[in-house]
Structure 1
């Protein structure tokens, strides 16, 4: 039995090697890729042409830095969410001898959505994504920008409750920033 398994393993390895060689040989020897039939048998070039998943969303604000921060906080409150922390990185880094343009990271929370995720043992693993954070910052062009995690897209692979809740979170946070962006 072991001898049969060994012969099978060697045969399979040889087959994989030959298949790889024949798929790549025309290109390696300078022949046009079309000669091998399908020039992209595994869809690699097709995947490269697709737009990459946008993990972070960034938009320019209609307002200056201070007004953007204040309006955003009001939008959070109006949506029934809470601001659970504001981290002023310009100040934090200044205390350490660094100088950066204005940037505040605002941590926000919806008790309802947090509860839905934190109730289940299997869902608790996504708690590092909590609370939701929004960054409001200036760039050297003098404009203010708003950046946030594309939570609906990022949570989709989790499926189930996490994907459902995070999709709702994505919609609600977009509503909070919508009137602020150009």
Structure 2
């Protein structure tokens, strides 16, 4: 009986260790971009988001934001935000506490090998962890939509259609062009942050 109990305990501990090691990697999905630069990749993602009926609320230039605080980053990093109002409403009506994880976003960055990568949360797995409406919306429809958008934006066919030149800034999105520019939403946040520091 004691040996049986020890065996169960060992199994539980082993499962916990495996989950601890494996889950972090499962929560993030990383794809290599077929485009040469972070900016080109962000442009293609932003266009695809809008084409699919979602909203690209901002493309946040993390390098420029850090530089305002006197911090220089080694490689370019951007955050591409995307939102679907109907999906957001369904989730927030059921579980407003998950607003801390919204809107959805993809990270776009240059890797150590010089190639460009796109990272995102594994929405299917995350939805399953929460269950209920979150599993139905975020783990279902949202996960499917994001997969479709990434497939299209980062496909070789899409790359072949690209002119390999940056498009003109879209005033409705405030898309950044290079390290010195920020989206409108990012600029507003930085301005608010500066004001709060001044007030203190």
**Superposed pair shares fold, TM > 0.5:** yes
CA distance in 2 between counterparts of 1:87 and 1:49 reads: 35
What does residue 27 of structure 1 align with? none
SS in 1 for 2:133: helix
Map 1:1-150 onto structure 2 (within 5 A).
23=2, 36=3, 40-42=7-9, 43=11, 44-46=13-15, 48-49=17-18, 52-53=22-23, 54-64=26-36, 65-100=38-73, 101-120=75-94, 123-150=95-122
Cα distance change, pair 118–47 in 1 and its aligned pair in 2 (3 A): closer
Is 2:126 the partner of 1:159? no
1:159, CA displacement in angstroms?
A: 1.3
The structure whose RCO (Cα within 8 Å, separation 6+) is larger is 2
Contact 2:59 2:78 survives alignment (8 Å): yes
Report the TM-score, using the length of structure 1 for normalisation. Answer: 0.71
1:95, CA displacement in angstroms?
A: 2.0
Report the TM-score, using the length of structure 2 for normalisation. Answer: 0.65
What does residue 165 of structure 2 align with? none
The higher radius of gyration belongs to: 1
CA distance in 2 between counterparts of 1:47 and 1:118 reads: 31
Q: Where in structure 2 are there 5+ consecutive unaligned residues?
A: 157-200
What does residue 33 of structure 1 align with? none
Contact 1:60 1:181 survives alignment (8 Å): no
